Structure 1
Amino acid sequence: MLSQFNQFLLNFSLLITSLLFASLPLRHVKRISPASPVKLRILVGLIAGFISVLLVLNSITYDGAKIDLRLVALVTAFYYGGWVSAGITTLAILGARFAVTPPGAYEGLILTGLICIALLITASIYRRFASHTLKDYLVLIGIGIGYSLPALYLLTETFNRFLEIALVYIIFILLGGYVTYRFLQELRKHFQFVQTQQELALTDGLTNLANRRKLDETLAHYDQHGYAFSVLIVDIDFFKSVNDTYGHDGGDVVLRQLSHLLEHCCPDQALVGRYGGEEFVVLLPDTPLKEAGRLGETIRSACADQHFVFSAYPAFHVTLSIGAASSDQGETSFEVVQKADQALYQAKQTGRNKVVGYSEE
């Protein structure tokens, strides 16, 4: 019994270690379910199939039976990816089982195939009445155990031998299933926490736009890959007067409302960020200067027409000065931003509430 215990621990350690490394490609996926895109479910099936192969190749042989935790991998694939993932995992299990089966001794291989098919059919029926919980996951594990025990009995030499193996098998499959479920849930929480912290580090706390760090990283990325882009620097005219009249809370309301306006006006491929204070930046990849200027005019006009509302004060208007520049001369991103800043300065010096594109003249 102690030898069996140690062998199952090795199989269990292999399962958890494989899950940890195999989960890394999926760390940015917020949720995986049978309703996820097919490509994602195929990836889940390939990962679960790979883990199943490792488990089968390191299985414990008792008489004609191969004992391991492949059932946990199969149920996990079905639980998260449905038939697509489970089908791929089943094929991987059968392939691995065939590889370790001696010529002419195919009873175990046939029984493995029957168990997988019966489990998936039963699980499909059960899922219609179940929710996505630990209890349902363990029920699927239990169904798999129920189908596996008769096969285990047929492949062992004596009833006492069957009882000896079955007891250890049931305990470790249930324990392996429970720990796997909890492990994946905690791993998902950890990935989501890390992703949230990364997003917060690149997000302006007031407007939820990209912050200066995110903008600088994107500009560095443009430099590294030689991407062409245009940039708009958007500045609120006389913002100090807004703060003096309505207080800093009123100024914050203006910044938030303007951030919504910018997101609404800008195309999906644009990166909108707050550069600091009342200054915003819009990065426009693969966009010529004239098109960027037209977008700047759209933003300026929309802002001039918008009624800003704060507390019990009457609605009021603010205007924008916008500088535009493009990387069409092959400059670095820093030089392009400097050109846009010079254009913004010109807009302010010549009356404000306008869009000025950078010109060498």
Structure 2
Amino acid sequence: MEQVIRSLDALYINICVTYASLVFFYFFLSSDSPLGPTSPLYKRVLFGVLCGAVAAFLDRDLFRLSETVYYSFEMIPLVICVFYVGWLSVVCAFVVKFFLTGMFTLDNLIVVAMIAVICYFRPWRDNNIRTFAIAISVVLLFRLLVSIPYLHSWEIILRSLAYQLVTLFCLFICYHGLGGKFRYVRAFFREKENSSMDFLTKTFNRMGLEEHLKAVQKNHSGFGLAMLDIDFFKKVNDTYGHAIGDDVLVRVANVARMMLRKDDVLARFGGEEFVILIASGNAYECVKCCERIRRAVESTVFTNADGEPFQITVSLGVACYQPGKSLQENIIVADGALYQSKTHGRNRTTSV
């Protein structure tokens, strides 16, 4: 009984190490978005490597049934890894564990068999308690089948049972604990995204524009800033009503978004005005981008509540972004170019 109690002390330490490590790794790799099966490749690989290192560490505190058969907590980080980050991470985790724990051992062969069975159910796609119960059943069944020939005394049976029960408990703690962290991180980034988006047009708002400006400045040595204004928008609201006006805003935003490239940024600046960050320091390329948008909007057919068609045009002003000036100062420069487009007949692009 004394040995059982001592083994429970070791199990408690392993629970703490496992849970604390997994939570820390998860938060560390969720700095800019929730870690998951669609996260960047390097994050999934790194999480797998870290989980593999934890599994190898847990493999040191063993309850041996024989020289080649033993109990440890090694499967816990591997199971959590495959559930929350996917197959690639658990493969990386197993490779690390494989090289750190003797490579072609009986235990590693058992572990790879368990991982293969669990991956068959693709738990990262259907992460729920039913799939988790299947994974736990696989782990316990494999361990039971391997250990049956070595259960010669009540002491060994009690210690084996303690390991199985505590492993089960720890798996549930880690699964639900990390699940709670996952939901928290996902909700945090959802709220952050919502706070930087314009609710109507699903473009960025001023806050989102400022956030993405930093990324554009980091990745591009030079870029353009354009102001877009819908011509005679007040007349649209007065003639067709605000519902049609909102529809015009949404459709103009969608058209502009389709004309932009991956690194370009579109933001609603207020009312019927939009700001565009164009990921090119070439003034000619910036004007070409604005002209694509202008022509696309001009060729789009809008309809009122009665289904009658009408046309909308936009005016644009574009300037190369000056790093020495603030965002507001650069907007004022582009706004001056926009004013020239309006005073010269609208439905045109002016560059300064």
TM-score normalised by L of structure 2:
0.84
Q: Is the 8 A contact 2:35 2:85 kept in 1?
A: no
Q: What is the DSSP-based 3-state SS (H/G/I as helix, E as strand, rest coil) of the residue aligned with 1:282?
A: strand
Distance 2:116 2:264 in 1: 47
Aligned to 1:135: 130
Residue 32 of structure 1, CA deviation: 1.6
Aligned to 1:262: 256
Aligned to 1:88: 92
Residue 293 of structure 1, CA deviation: 1.3
Q: Is the 8 A contact 1:56 1:96 kept in 2?
A: no
Q: How does 1:321-340 map to 2 (within 5 A)?
A: 321-327=315-321, 333-340=327-334
Distance 1:224 1:126 in 2: 41
Q: RMSD over aligned Cα, in angstroms?
A: 3.3
Q: Is the 8 A contact 2:220 2:280 kept in 1?
A: no
Q: Is the 8 A contact 1:220 1:333 kept in 2?
A: no
Change beyond 3 A, Cα 1:225–1:38:
closer
Q: What is the DSSP-based 3-state SS (H/G/I as helix, E as strand, rest coil) of the residue aligned with 1:179?
A: helix
Q: Is the 8 A contact 1:321 1:354 kept in 2?
A: yes
- Pick which of 130-139 and 257-266 moved more: 130-139
Aligned to 2:181: 187
Q: What is the DSSP-based 3-state SS (H/G/I as helix, E as strand, rest coil) of the residue aligned with 1:23?
A: helix
Amino acid at match of 2:320: S
Q: How does 1:171-182 map to 2 (within 5 A)?
A: 171-182=165-176
- Deviation readout 1:270-312 (Å, 9 max, x if unpaired): 1011011110111112241122112222222222222222322
- Deviation readout 1:229-258 (Å, 9 max, x if unpaired): 111100112211112112222211111111
Change beyond 3 A, Cα 1:239–1:127:
closer
Amino acid at match of 2:48: G
Residue 203 of structure 1, CA deviation: 0.4
Aligned to 2:299: 305
Structure 1: gaps of 5 or more residues: 100-108
Whether 1:314 and 2:308 are equivalent positions in the alignment is yes
Aligned to 2:140: 145
- What is the aligned-residue identity percentage? 26
- Counterpart among 32, 47, 51 of residue 48 in structure 1: 51
Distance 2:74 2:110 in 1: 12
Structure 2: gaps of 5 or more residues: none
Amino acid at match of 1:143: V
- Counterpart among 234, 246, 263 of residue 240 in structure 2: 246
Q: What is the aligned residue count?
A: 344
- Pick which of 16-25 and 83-92 moved more: 83-92
Aligned to 1:119: 114
Distance 1:114 1:302 in 2: 60
Q: Is the 8 A contact 1:231 1:340 kept in 2?
A: yes
Aligned to 1:232: 226
Q: Is the 8 A contact 1:138 1:177 kept in 2?
A: no
Distance 2:216 2:120 in 1: 51
Residue 39 of structure 1, CA deviation: 5.3
Q: What is the DSSP-based 3-state SS (H/G/I as helix, E as strand, rest coil) of the residue aligned with 2:339?
A: helix
Change beyond 3 A, Cα 1:346–1:83:
closer
